[in-house]
Amino acid sequence: MTITGWTLIAVFVAILLLLTKPVGMWLFALYEGRRTPLHTIFGPVERGFYKLSGIDPAEEQSWRRYAVHMLIFNAALMVFTYAVLRLQAILPVNPQGLAALGDHLAFNTAISFTTNTNWQSYGGESTMSNLSQMLGLTIHNFLSAATGIALAFALFRGFARRSAKTIGNFWADVTRVTLYLLLPLCIIITLFYIASGVPQTLAGVVDVSTLEGVKQSLLLGPVASQEAIKMLGTNGGGFFNANSAHPFENPNALTNFVQMLSIFVIGFGLTWTFGKAVGNTRQGWAILSAMLILFLAGVTITYWQEAAGNPVLHGLGVAGGNMEGKEVRFGIAASALFSVITTAASCGAVNAMHDSFTALGGMIPLFNMQLGEVVIGGVGAGIYGFLLFAILAVFVAGLMVGRTPEYVGKKIEAREVKLAVLAIAVLPLIILGFTALSSVLEQGLAGPLNKGPHGFSEILYAFTSAVANNGSAFAGLTANTPYYNGMLGVAMWIGRFFIIVPMLAIAGSLAAKKHTPESAGSFPTTGGLWVGLLVGIVLVLGGLTFLPSLALGPIADHLAMVKGQLF
């Protein structure tokens, strides 16, 4: 570990903290439906959309109606993307003449991008046409991210409103987030990427001569625009198979830093928005503090392990940290930081191969996802996921003080606790269940490249990534098979929507309640004790649930490495 590496981490966190309130204020304006400076430009577009679709943005929806509209919208988008991928061979803007995707790969990919997972069982540059990248995939990068933020707004209204029957309008929320947040930011970021050397063209291939005089064909496409939203919307799907390790997606240290900032900036801002929505910004800072503690702990362990390197190689006289699977232009610190950021935020983009990390260095990205994408989390999904843990934490606190638990002025009763437990239980049920099944079935065992605990980690990582809607992978797993495409597709759908529906039910239940003023017996939810309790609840639930699987995978892998055995 070096001073330069720690300085990079410190500067990264400092810039995000400076951006938290400005971004949060902009999000709060969208949450309230207020006019922004960009309404002059995009206002006519918004009004035109409502007129064409017959939507009244002022018409509020109950939580059930909000959920139904959200599910229908996402299901329709998934079917549309499936059709685009299956018809790719006969559709235009296919300069390489790529064939249509097979049924099980198209099924997996359509669900993957609909759920904001962006798991890729294919190599982008050799599988997807430019039209499929833009129309089939990039559109989801915007709308799945906008859906997540809209759902966070709905839950915020549940906490903020009093004796209300509605939690907002899904169509208005998604439209405003897309037009006034995601689109303008992506235009700016795209221009920066183009200026930095990231391609943005409809050309498919360019033939060049190398320094050795050899002819080489370079694959190109509309990369910069997809790169911008894949990071900002915590989507993660790469235009190229190597993702952000590819120089056309991530040319240098500056673009790498901007990508890392893009992944976290909206998640940071939403914590402030929540505090403002409930009338006490300290509530938002408390949540962000708990998230940061978990994040910084993960960065420390990963950076320490990757900088320490592999003792087996040290014994052979190869000194230094673990550079296997990493780009020299980024190095160990930036690669370790990126890996923790992308798995703490359900992004899934990678600038290094997690399969090549040390056992414990690779365990932290895995554990981040197993915590339920609450360590900052995806856009929208992170904050509403963390609030589910907050409900359980305040319930535990209520048991300790011997009174009905309260959080930001709302009594937390049996209905909210049961729904929160139901949503949180989805992760271990599907992750561990599908991993166990794949570890004994012939079709599942055909996937891992490695044997022993590392091979088990590849399977565990795949289903963890799918259910947590992350999309990153231990690259050794061969996932483009009917078995894995099908199982991972089902896991992604359950991991997204089986959490959202109970969460919206909680929002509706809370919105209907009256506000309960704080009293001397109320448990304070803004101080250090509350932050510690939040961190403890997240770690205890994650640790107790997933520790046995981690012991069979990365922990056993680490102990074997210490003894000189590699897999």
Structure tokens at 183: 């689109």
Residue 431 CA to residue 437 CA, distance in Å, equals 10
Whether 509 is covered by a domain: the verdict is no
- Dihedral of the CA atoms 195, 201, 207, 208 (nearest 10)? 0
* Percent above pLDDT 70 for the chain: 99
Residue 31, SS3?
A: helix
Q: Which residues contact 473 (CB under 8 A, 6 or more apart)?
A: 119, 354, 355, 461, 462, 465, 479
Do residues 406 and 523 lie in contact, with contact meaning Cβ atoms separated by under 8 Å?
yes
Contact assessment for residue 196 and residue 255, using Cβ atoms and an 8 Å cutoff? yes
Encoded tokens for 558: 């680490």
Interval 8-34 mean pLDDT? 96
- In a domain, residue 379? The reply is no
**CB-CB contact of 251 with 9 (8 Å):** no
Over residues 428-435, mean pLDDT:
95
- Answer whether residue 76 is part of any domain: yes
* Residue 543, pLDDT above cutoff 80: no
Bridge partners of residue 218, in order along the sequence:
206
The number of domains in the chain is 1
Structure tokens at 23: 């971004």
Q: Please report which confidence band the pLDDT of residue 400 belongs to, taking 50, 70 and 90 as the band edges.
A: confident
* Of the candidates 64, 73, 275, the residue with the CA atom closest to the CA atom of residue 172: 73
| Rg (the chain; Cα; Å) | 23
What is the DSSP code (8-state) at residue 411?
Answer: E
d(CA 251, CA 223): 12
Please say whether the dihedral angle defined by the alpha carbons of residues 238, 243, 248 and 254, taken in this order, is positive or negative.
Answer: positive
Per-residue model confidence as pLDDT tens digits over 510-541: 999 998 887 777 788 898 999 999 999 999 88
The reported pLDDT for the residue numbered 491 is 96
Q: Is pLDDT above 80 for 441?
A: yes
Q: Which two tokens stand for residue 71?
A: 């599910």
pLDDT the model gives residue 451: 85
Residue 165 belongs to some domain of the structure: yes
Residue 95 lies in a domain: yes
How many other C-beta atoms lie within 10 A of the C-beta of residue 86? 18
Give the C-alpha separation, 507 to 502, whole Å.
9
Per the structure block, which two tokens stand in for 429? 């049920």
The label of the residue with tokens 């000194």 reads 319
| Count of helices and strands (H, E) across the chain | 22, 4
Cα angle 64, 165, 374 (rounded to 5 degrees) comes to 60
Establish if 406 belongs to a structural domain: no
| Average of per-residue pLDDT across 165-176 | 96
Residues 463-500 pLDDT 10s: 999 999 999 988 788 999 999 999 999 999 999 999 99
The Cα 379–Cα 126 span in angstroms is 29
Angle of CA points 289, 371, 462, to nearest 5°: 140
pLDDT digits (tens, 9 = 90+) for 246-267: 999 999 999 999 999 999 999 9
Position of tokens 């799907």?
Answer: 237
Q: Tell me how far apart the alpha carbons of residues 448 and 450 are, in angstroms, rounded to a whole number.
A: 6
Rounded distance, CA 220 to CA 385, Å? 37
Can you give the residue range of the structural domain that contains 247? 21-251
Q: How confident is the model over 65-121, as pLDDT tens digits? A: 999 999 999 999 999 999 999 999 999 999 889 999 999 999 999 999 999 999 999
Strand partners, 222: 200
Number of alpha carbons in the 13 Å side-chain half-sphere of residue 463: 30
pLDDT greater than 90 at residue 284 = yes
Q: Residue 166 has which token pair?
A: 């509605």
DSSP state of 514: P
How far apart (Å, rounded) are the C-alpha atoms in residues 11 and 18?
11
Q: What are the two backbone dihedrals, phi and then psi, of residue 218, each rounded to the nearest 5 degrees?
A: -105, 125
- Type of residue numbered 259: Q
Q: What angle do CA 75, 81, 87 make, to 5 degrees?
A: 135
CB 532, CB 525: distance < 8 Å: no
CA angle, 268 as apex, 115 and 534 as ends, to 5°?
Answer: 90
For residue 565, which amino acid is it? Q
What is the residue-averaged pLDDT of the chain? 92
Q: How far apart are CA 547 and CA 186, in angstroms?
A: 39
In a domain, 62, yes or no: yes
> Given phi > 0 = left and psi -120 to 50 = alpha, else beta, which region is 469?
left
Q: Tell me the backbone φ, ψ of residue 348, rounded to 5 degrees.
A: 90, -10
Indicate whether 377 pLDDT > 90.
Answer: no
- Tell me the backbone φ, ψ of residue 358, rounded to 5 degrees: -65, 165
Q: 3-state SS string over 274-311?
A: HHHHCCCHHHHHHHHHHHHHHHHHHHHHHHHHHHHCCH
How far does CA 75 lie from the centroid of its chain?
A: 20
Quickly tell me which residue has 């040390």 as its tokens.
358
Verdict on whether the full-model pTM lies above 0.85: yes
- 3-class SS at 437? helix
Is the model's pLDDT at 549 over the cut of 80?
yes
Helix (H, G, I), strand (E, B) or coil at 510: helix
Spatial contact of 100 and 85, defined as CB atoms under 8 Å apart? yes
Kindly report the length of the chain. Answer: 567
Strand partners, 411: 406
Q: Is residue 84 part of a domain?
A: yes
